[in-house]
A = this chain, B = another copy of it.
C-alpha cells in the first residue's frame, strides 16, 4: 500500500472516533518517516472541501493542523457536492467521492463499483479526451441526483 494511503487511513481512523482531527504535521511526518510536506499532499488530495472537509492550521510554536467535517444531512451533502463539481471530473476524483459515499453508507460496494466502471476511461474511450472529464461530470451529477 502507498504511503499516502496509509497516512489517509490513519487520519480516517481518528475520524471514526472523534469528530475532528487535530494533528502536528512534523510529528506525523516523523511517525510515517516522510517529509512534512507529504502530510500536506495527503490532506490536499483526500480531505478536500468537495467532500465537506475543512482544514485549519496554525504555524509557529504549538502549531497544528485541524481537520473537521461539516455535518450535513445526506441531501445537503449531495447538494453541496453538486455545487462544487463544476464541469470537469477526473477518474481519480470519482474514486475519492465513491469511497466517501461508501463510508457514509450512501452506497453499497456493488453500486459504487458500477458507477466507477460506468465513469471509467475505459467506458468513455470513444469520447474525445478533452471532453471526457466533462461528460464524466455530467453523468456523475445525474447519478447523484438519483441516489436514494
Contact = CB atoms under 8 A, between A and B. Distances in A.
Interface of A: 1-2, 5, 54-56, 61-62, 110-111, 113-115, 117-120, 122-127, 131, 134-135, 138-139, 142-143, 146, 148
Cβ-closest 8 pairs across A and B: A2-B62, A123-B139, A123-B142, A118-B118, A117-B146, A117-B142, A118-B139, A126-B135
Given A62-B2, A125-B138, A135-B126, A118 B115 contact: yes
Nearest to A131: B126
A62 B142 contact: no
B146 A114 contact: yes
Contacts of A138: 122-126
A122 B142 contact: yes
A9 B146 CA distance: 27
13 contacts: A54-B122, A55-B122, A56-B120, A110-B111, A111-B114, A114-B115, A114-B143, A117-B143, A118-B119, A126-B134, A126-B135, A126-B138, A127-B127
Q: Which of A2, A118, A125 has the most CB of B within 10 A?
A: A118
A26 to B, nearest CB: 16
A122 B131 CA distance: 16
A58 B66 CA distance: 30
Contacts of A110: 111, 148
